[in-house]
Amino acid sequence: MPWQCGDALRLRPTRSVPAFGRLKTAPRVVDNLELCATVERKGESYMGRSLVALLVLAWGAGAQDRLPPVAAEKMTEAQRKAVADYRNLRNADLTGPPWSVLLRVPDWVVPAVEMRLHVQNRPVLGNRLTELAILIAAREWTNNYEWNAHSAAAARAGLASAVVSDVAAGRRPEHMAEDEEILYDFCAELLHNKSLSDATYARALTRFGEAGVVELANLEGYYVYLSMVMNTARSPLPAGAKPQLASFPK
C-alpha cells in the first residue's frame, strides 16, 4: 500500500504533484521522495511548513556518502583480510567505491574484483564494445561514478564521441557500427524488458556467439549491480570530478 499524504507529515515516493489542502507551497522533491503535508486545522499551516523545511534540511544533510570507507582501526579481521586480498589482486589499495562499500560484507569483495579483472584483462567482445555495454548500464542507473570512469575508457577504446553523447542523453545513438547496434539493442531490451525477444537474441548470437551473448548479459548484470550498490550508498565522485549524467525526467 503506497504512503499517502494525510493528517501528519510523511515521506512519499511519487512522480506527480498531489493536492495540498491549505499548505500552498509545492512539495520539495529529493531523490524521488516528496516531503508533503496536509494541514487541516486552522493555524497549523505555519507549523506544517516549518516541519517540511526541517525535513528537507535533514534529508539534504543525509544526502552525503552513506557508507564511506571504513577506518583501518575499525575494521574487523574479515575486512582486513578482504583489503589484503584486494591489494594482492589489483596491486593497489582499497580506498574507494564500490569496493569500500562492499567491504561491509567482506565476502563480496574478491568475487566482485575478479569479475572486474576479467572485464579489464580478458573481455570477450573487445574493449570498444565492452565499454559501450558498461555505459548503457551506467546510464540506465544514472551512476556517475562508473560513467565518468568508463566514458573516458570508451574514448580510448575508439567508441565515437557522438555515440557516447547520445547514450548519456538517454537516446538510441543514430550513427553506430553494426556490431554496436546489435549490442545496444540487446542491452537496452534486456534492461528495459527484463528479457530478450527471439529476434534480438538470434541477431546477437549470430554476431557474437554464445560466449558473447553470455558476456553481454554478465556485463549488464555486473555494472547494474555495482551501480545499485553505489546508488544505495550515495557514493561520491572522486575529488574534483563532476557528474556527467543528469537524472532521467520523472
- Retrieve residue 216's grid coordinates: 553481454
The helix (H) or strand (E) run that includes residue 10 is strand 10-13
Please name the residue ranges forming H helices in the chain: 45-61, 77-90, 99-102, 109-121, 126-140, 144-157, 161-168, 178-193, 198-233
Please name the residue ranges forming H helices in 175-197: 178-193
Its pTM stands at 0.75
List beta partners, residue 36. Answer: 10
Domains of the chain: residue spans and CATH: 10-61 (no CATH), 72-233 (1.20.1290.10)
Q: pLDDT by residue for the chain (250 residues), tens digit each?
A: 444 444 343 333 433 333 333 333 333 333 433 333 333 444 444 444 444 344 333 434 445 899 999 999 999 999 999 999 999 999 999 999 999 999 999 999 999 999 999 999 999 999 999 999 999 999 999 999 999 999 999 999 999 999 999 999 999 999 999 999 999 999 999 999 999 999 999 999 999 999 999 999 999 999 999 999 999 999 999 999 999 999 887 6
